[in-house]
Amino acid sequence: MELELSQRIGKLKTSPIRKLIPYGEEATRKGKIIHHLNIGQPDIKTPLEFYDAVRNYFEPVLKYANSAGTPELINEIKNYYSRRKMNYSIDDILVTSGGVEGISFALTAICDVGDEILIPEPYYANYNSFFNTLEINVKAVTTYAETGFHLPSMEEFEKKITPRTRAIMLSNPSNPTGTVYRKEEIEMIAQISKKHNLYIISDEVYREFVYGENKAISFGTFKDIEDRVILIDSISKRYSACGSRIGCVISKNKKLIQSIYKLCQARLCLPTLEMIGATALYKIDDSYLEEVRKEYEKRRNVLYNELREIEGVIVRESEGAFYSVVKFPVKDAEKFAIWLLEEFEINGETVMITPVEGFYKTKGAGRDEIRISYAIDELKITQTMAILKEGLKRYLKEESKRY
Amino acid sequence: MELELSQRIGKLKTSPIRKLIPYGEEATRKGKIIHHLNIGQPDIKTPLEFYDAVRNYFEPVLKYANSAGTPELINEIKNYYSRRKMNYSIDDILVTSGGVEGISFALTAICDVGDEILIPEPYYANYNSFFNTLEINVKAVTTYAETGFHLPSMEEFEKKITPRTRAIMLSNPSNPTGTVYRKEEIEMIAQISKKHNLYIISDEVYREFVYGENKAISFGTFKDIEDRVILIDSISKRYSACGSRIGCVISKNKKLIQSIYKLCQARLCLPTLEMIGATALYKIDDSYLEEVRKEYEKRRNVLYNELREIEGVIVRESEGAFYSVVKFPVKDAEKFAIWLLEEFEINGETVMITPVEGFYKTKGAGRDEIRISYAIDELKITQTMAILKEGLKRYLKEESKRY
């Protein structure tokens, strides 16, 4: 008799970011050098304060920590928010294993099987892992490259609301689009949440990375919806410490936080050393974050200037995070991405990009879109874009022959 | 309109271990000194190898690690098992955040909502967190203090099996009972799993801590059920590194491991530094583990000699882990435990114990049982037991007056 797996685990798909990895590995085996425009791993150095704090820590017995996080770290997170004019008490903050644990906990606490989440698409594809294992249904509101992936009208959201809708979820600045929602958009979401009695799960891990005139307005600044708002945060990108796995979930809704605290207790605690390191990062003067922001802004500008020159491409300047979603003049971006790895090279070099189709819930949407990450430095962006441009030119020539 | 929480989160109960904490805090506020017979936090020092390895690690960018764990750590876990004559390949092992993440992942991968897990009771109460949030039903097979909490007959298990039963789950050596299952018991479980097509989730985190003639037989040593067995392991107790949060889930069932790997990908990765430290721990010569085992064995002997002298107590010598479940001559052990904190003291000192009722699924079972942990040193055990004995004497006197 065969041993079966659960149906919920069967619903888990391979992430669209990881889907291309085997093709990349095969290309590497064949000796090609791959330049990565597909990754969300910043190359910015982790501040030495992290390592110093970890090295200076010693307790003869490395004990279980508090389930909510160490008081010192929670206090520094509180201070970080208070510098941004958001006054949270230490009881409003629970430390989580990166942003993802916060998302998983928030969804568990508010959604039962069959409940629904309203979300603008394209959205961070990894959210699906939690939607699927928790058996939550997604209602996606489509946004478009032509309008810089900004939100459509209130009616478009309301069309998708049912009695089972529990929350509106979004990332701001957005992964994958790099869009920073404007004041009117944030206010519209707040209004919908009140009118339809919904939570707002706001993933704000890229909050510090906004460019030009753009400002990341946190849902944490709205007093009248404070019991509805669940903030998701993380040090991964902010302090370039992805490998430390420290994030937090924040809410003024006491009942919600008490419930999520029970989930924290179930997994006992987070690693002490990582919380020690994270505490040191939060103590760094905010001018550090401004330096990092400026660095990404330069990269964004370089990338945008490269992209706008390509014929047939639809691109708006990325407003935040370190991503841009670009409409390419190809029928199927995944085929193009695979072609780049399998068939194309210049002097033994090629490029890896992320097709965006897997970031949409709506079937067939975004088929001609790619996500480009500018987590790499200016020079590399320029060099890699030159290869990508040449790749596109050849691909279009081959495509025109084929069809 | 009030914002509701999910029904699944509503099912989460406060752990019976943590339930008494407010009473302890209140007693501490009043100036009482509390001796802890209730905790699972060992006082054995974390080997310095852990800290040394962490301090020597440096990468300019602290990147995301592999979702499965670092290859070095997986290889050391493989070596640890191979020294115990269990030959796993690196593909059979996934590193998890302590044992609890492995449990949560295993249950997610094999159980849908409404599926059932068969488990001997009393069992580690924290398992309920995962049963409840995953909406898995528990079918408990009761074991008794009088028979040292050893397993009943095959028929007792088979009575509880339904078409929805997916797995038998147990911890061996057992938390909370300290029971080490004998060869016949392990073989019986293996036989049931084959006959009824079930998985076995075997939590073996206390494997190294067995005393006297007892031997912890791993389900990993049975060739004919290797596709059914899911091992849960952790460094927390083994290397006294609870605050590092490193464990693993192991299985020869490739489809299962591939599915759990997707759950690993969803949470991205575990902290790099903790894996570096854990790798160093697994490299320590096994003679270290034998030293620790001997230390716990001495403590067990001291505790047992203290307990057997108390009139009216039913206790068998703990066989493994660092726990003993003892039947006390009281009507309600929780009331006794609270009384010890609220009303009792000798020279300003009292004792905290864990009532076992919350470790049973069957209502009312184990009401007169307490779990005593011998994770503290010999002298402390003797001193604390003296206080507990005096407490019991006075409590029984008061109880006899009351009823």
Predicted-complex ipTM score: 0.96
* A272: in domain: yes
Sort residue A342 into left (φ over 0), alpha (ψ -120 to 50) or beta.
Answer: alpha
Contact B120, B105 (CB under 8 A): no
Amino acid at A315: V
What is the tens place of the pLDDT at every residue in A164-202? 999 999 999 999 999 999 999 999 999 999 999 999 999
- Concatenating the DSSP letter of every residue in A363-392 gives TTTTTTEEEEE--S-HHHHHHHHHHHHHHH
**B339, B229: one domain:** no
Amino acid at A262: K
Query: Beta strand A199-203 with A165-171: parallel, antiparallel or unpaired?
Result: parallel
Amino acid A403: pLDDT: 64
By Cβ distance, the residue of B3, B108, B268 closest to A197 is B3
- Alpha-carbon distance of B348 to A170, in angstroms, equals 54
* B371: in domain: yes
Q: What is the CATH number of the domain that holds A355?
A: 3.90.1150.10
Residue with tokens 């291309």: A20
* B324: in domain: yes
Amino acid A185: pLDDT: 98
**B31, B154: one domain:** no
Is B108's CB within 8 Å of A3's CB?
no
> What is the least distance, in Å, from the CA of B324 to any CA of chain A?
21
For A264-363, where are the E strands, in sequence order? 323-327, 349-352, 354-355
Is B274's CB within 8 Å of A270's CB?
no
How high is the mean pLDDT of chain A?
A: 96
Residues of A in contact with B245 (CB under 8 A): 268-271
- Alpha-carbon distance of A80 to A73, in angstroms, equals 10
**B230, B310: one domain:** no
Residue A315 has pLDDT above 80, yes or no: yes
- Structural domain that includes position B255: 48-283
Contact B131, B103 (CB under 8 A): no
Q: How many domains does chain A have?
A: 2
Contact A97, A246 (CB under 8 A): yes
Tokens of B326: 């003892």
CA-to-CA dists, residue B144 to B203, B314, B327, B353, angstroms = 20, 10, 10, 19
What is the tens place of the pLDDT at every residue in A220-268? 999 999 999 999 999 999 999 999 999 999 999 999 999 999 999 999 9
Amino acid at A57: Y
* B1: in domain: no
Domain boundary among A283, A305, A324: A283
Residues of B in contact with A41 (CB under 8 A): 61, 63-64
HSE, side-chain direction, 13 A CA sphere, residue B256: 29
Residues of B in contact with A271 (CB under 8 A): 243-245, 271, 273-274
**B279, B306: one domain:** no
**B230, B131: one domain:** yes
* B99: in domain: yes
Amino acid B40: pLDDT: 82
By Cβ distance, the residue of A44, A61, A262 closest to B46 is A61
**A180, A326: one domain:** no
HSE, side-chain direction, 13 A CA sphere, residue B252: 15
Domain boundary among A267, A283, A299: A283
- Alpha-carbon distance of B267 to B269, in angstroms, equals 6
Residues of A in contact with B129 (CB under 8 A): 262-263, 265-266
Q: Which of residues 188-227 of B touch A (CB under 8 A)?
A: 197, 199, 227
**A359, A244: one domain:** no
- Alpha-carbon distance of B58 to A27, in angstroms, equals 30
Tokens of A321: 């995070």
* A403: in domain: no
Q: Which of residues 239-258 of B touch A (CB under 8 A)?
A: 240-245, 253, 255-256
Is B244's CB within 8 Å of A271's CB?
yes
* A394: in domain: yes
pTM (2 decimals)?
0.96
Is A46's CB within 8 Å of B55's CB?
no
By Cβ distance, the residue of A1, A51, A259 closest to B58 is A51
**B265, B301: one domain:** no
Is B45's CB within 8 Å of A63's CB?
no
HSE, side-chain direction, 13 A CA sphere, residue B87: 1
User: What is the percent of chain A with per-residue pLDDT over 70, rounded to a whole number?
Assistant: 100
- Top residue of A1, A6, A126, A255 to mutate, by most chain B CBs within 10 Å, is A6
Q: Is A277 exposed, middle or buried (0-12, 13-18, 19+ CB in 10 A)?
A: buried
Tokens of A350: 């090629």
pLDDT in single tens digits along all 403 residues of chain B: 679 999 999 999 877 777 888 999 999 999 999 999 998 889 999 999 999 999 999 999 999 999 999 999 999 999 999 999 999 999 999 999 999 999 999 999 999 999 999 999 999 999 999 999 999 999 999 999 999 999 999 999 999 999 999 999 999 999 999 999 999 999 999 999 999 999 999 999 999 999 999 999 999 999 999 999 999 999 999 999 999 999 999 999 999 999 999 999 999 999 999 999 999 999 999 999 999 999 999 999 999 999 999 999 999 999 999 999 999 999 999 999 999 999 999 999 999 999 999 999 999 999 999 999 999 999 999 999 999 999 999 999 988 887 6
Quick check: helix, strand or coil at residue A110? helix
**B116, B174: one domain:** yes
- From A18-22, A339-343, B156-160, B301-305, the region with the lowest mean pLDDT: A18-22
**B236, B125: one domain:** yes
Average pLDDT of the segment spanning A71-79: 98
Is A5's CB within 8 Å of B133's CB?
no
With a CB cutoff of 8 Å and minimum separation 6, the contacts of B274 are: A271, A273, A274, B244, B245, B246
**B205, B346: one domain:** no
Is A271's CB within 8 Å of B271's CB?
yes
Contact B107, B131 (CB under 8 A): yes
Domain boundary among B227, B260, B283: B283
Is B359 within 8 Å of chain A by CB? Answer: no
Residue A150 has pLDDT above 70, yes or no: yes
Amino acid B309: pLDDT: 93
Q: Which of residues 67-96 of A touch B (CB under 8 A)?
A: none
CA-to-CA dists, residue A2 to A83, B198, B253, B257, angstroms = 58, 10, 11, 15
**B109, B158: one domain:** yes
* A323: in domain: yes
Residue A2 has pLDDT above 90, yes or no: no
Residue with tokens 């470790």: B359
Q: What is the CATH number of the domain that holds B128?
A: 3.40.640.10
Amino acid at B347: N
Residue A14 has pLDDT above 80, yes or no: no
Q: Where are the alpha helices (DSSP H) in B309-376?
A: 333-342
